[in-house]
Structure 1
Amino acid sequence: MIELWVIALRGVQYVAIAIALGLPAFMLYNPAVRAMALVWPRRMVLAAALVLLAAAPAALVAQTAMMAGSLEAALSPDALRAVISLPLGMAILVRAVGAALLVIVVAAFSPERVLWLAAAVIAALINATFVWTSHAGATGFLPLLLSDVVHLLAASIWIGALAAFAGIMFWRPADSSARLWPLITALARFARVGTFAVLLLIGTGLINGVMLIGFENMLMLAETPYGRTLIAKLALFAMMLALAGANRFRLAPALAAVGKDATDTPLRMLRLSIGLELAAGVTLLALVAVLGTLPPPS
């Protein structure tokens, strides 16, 4: 039961940091979307920061309970202090402080470029704390730690952008062109950012796989719970790549071709595709949360 709480809290935090980091980054490299003066991006980032602020202390207690053997033992001040003294506990504590700072910044600043820059920097630092609560953090091996930081950063940039696209496409002003042209521009900009994120994910994923699994264990992945979960994660990643390719090379050009004369058909198809890609991304993060509790083969 305690392990299920650890997995659930990990998954919730992974989704929250993807939004808290990916959405501000999206707003930074999309001035056309910033010019729309949307209200929901700020609210979404604030909600993600509040989730992180609430989930981090809960995760500390759950992790302590998992190590101490019971929830009652985890509530002991001595047990909590012992876990906080570890890199894992310190990372969760830093995450909570970062989330509190992010809440203050998002609530205090107006939704302009300075807000998104400050939010992205703070969220990137919070993002790095997740590495010290993962298998990479347990090894203490610096190249693996750095690779995992980049891996999580790229994943957050991608999934957070999908959440932003979903928000734009479900926002319906009276003038449809006010929605379509920023969306078309954002799709073109994300084509470059998304490609770079995918390359980083593939490169760092290979590095992490070699270091955590080992070449000699690759053929035996399906024989372990960790390996089967990893295979499912890779299948979802492949699905996201296929959907992203369809968005970039088929659906986005079709939407750009019709422009202001677009009917709901191309927009509906793109909405469905991005919705599926976002759902796959959230499911993938859930599998990452499970992987964190399973011992890798190597």
Structure 2
Amino acid sequence: MLLLARFGLMADLALLMGLPLFWWAMGMAGQRALLVALALGGMALSALWLLASAASMTGTPLLPPDWATAEILLTMTPIGLVLVVRGVALLAALVLAVAGQDRWVLIPAAVAAATIAWTGHAGATEDVAGSVHRAADVAHIWAASGWIGALAALLHAVTARRPNIDRVAVMLAKFSLLGTLFVATLVMTGVVNSLMIVGVADLPALVGSRYGWLLGAKLAVFGAMLGLAALNRWRLTPALERGAEGAIAALRLSLLLETGAAIGILVLVAWLGTLDPLA
């Protein structure tokens, strides 16, 4: 349940930030109802994550909730402050979404997404190294959120009953620069995060460990995402612009596979965040 709560929360906050970012970059109108649902979902999933964390710490079932341990987490650990900041940010995002200020939702949504950095390995790193680690993790989360939001928006566009091919081609062309920035940020911050979590001296210890295998799987899936993104950028988008037969179907399949890979990475990240890298 803790893994599911982490996965759901990361996916929800990534979409809450990534979709407004994409709509802003494309100059598109947003979907108010979707943002409202994501803001409310972030609140509910945060509560579920807290209760699942309490149950995991004490080895007890999720139901009935362990309110005593949850209170300890809220009052005696940094989790309380993290949830307060996230709650305020999600409330601001909800108010802005209800008011129809879709693009402004991006700001509080980015704050809410950034709080994830304080609930994983980065949150446990201390002193200056901890600040560097959390800064890298926040940048990693924001870049991943931007990519996931773009995938969701593009997939919605190409799976419409009658997709507007010209509009999809324009969206893909505009996203190319942002996509390159996201990938570069993910690679650089991913290296920093890995070195901070494991340490250079302990890298050989990852071989044969569960954490090492899962990290390897994450890197393999990320590599597949990069391959699909390159295919979209250099082959399928030009084919779509030329009006080549079957281009939209090929792009639809590629985006489906890329989205599936993104979901797989979120599952792996949720799992990795619950493990000791050197255990």
Normalised TM-score (structure 1): 0.86
* Distance verdict in 2 for CA 1:271–1:233, change over 3 Å: same
8 Å contact 2:15–2:149 — kept in the other structure?
yes
8 Å contact 2:55–2:66 — kept in the other structure?
no
Q: Within 2, Cα distance between the matches of 1:54 and 1:65?
A: 17
* Distance verdict in 2 for CA 1:197–1:71, change over 3 Å: same
* Distance verdict in 2 for CA 1:187–1:82, change over 3 Å: same
**Correspondence list, 1:79-158, <5 A:** 79-85=69-75, 86-109=77-100, 114-116=101-103, 118-140=104-126, 141-158=130-147
Which stretches in structure 1 are left out of the alignment for 5+ residues? Answer: none
2:154 aligned to which of 154, 160, 165: 165
Asked whether 1:282 is paired with 2:263, we answer: yes
Asked whether 1:24 is paired with 2:20, we answer: yes
Deviation, 1:73, is: 10
Which deviates more from structure 2 when the two are superposed, residues 214-223 or residues 226-235?
A: 214-223
Q: Within 2, Cα distance between the matches of 1:232 and 1:119?
A: 33
**Correspondence list, 1:263-278, <5 A:** 263=245, 265-278=246-259
8 Å contact 1:88–1:137 — kept in the other structure?
no
Deviation, 1:93, is: 3.6
Asked whether 1:221 is paired with 2:206, we answer: yes
Percent identity, aligned pairs only?
A: 35
Q: Within 2, Cα distance between the matches of 1:78 and 1:8?
A: 22
1:60 aligned to which of 40, 50, 69: 50
RMSD over equivalenced CA pairs, Å: 2.0
The number of residue pairs the alignment matches comes to 275
2:181 counterpart residue number: 196
- Look up the equivalent residue of 2:79 and give its one-letter code: L
* Distance verdict in 2 for CA 1:53–1:257, change over 3 Å: same
Normalised TM-score (structure 2): 0.92
1:250 counterpart residue number: 235
8 Å contact 1:19–1:44 — kept in the other structure?
no
- Look up the equivalent residue of 2:270 and give its one-letter code: A
Deviation, 1:160, is: 1.0
Q: Within 2, Cα distance between the matches of 1:57 and 1:232?
A: 29
- Look up the equivalent residue of 2:12 and give its one-letter code: A
2:171 counterpart residue number: 186
8 Å contact 1:56–1:93 — kept in the other structure?
no
Deviations 1:53-73 (A, max 9, x none): 211111111112222332489
Deviation, 1:139, is: 1.4
Question: Aligned with 1:193: secondary structure?
Answer: helix
* Distance verdict in 2 for CA 1:76–1:297, change over 3 Å: closer
* Distance verdict in 2 for CA 1:195–1:156, change over 3 Å: same
8 Å contact 2:3–2:270 — kept in the other structure?
yes
Question: Aligned with 2:207: secondary structure?
Answer: helix
Q: Within 1, Cα distance between the matches of 2:191 and 2:123?
A: 17
- Look up the equivalent residue of 1:121 and give its one-letter code: I
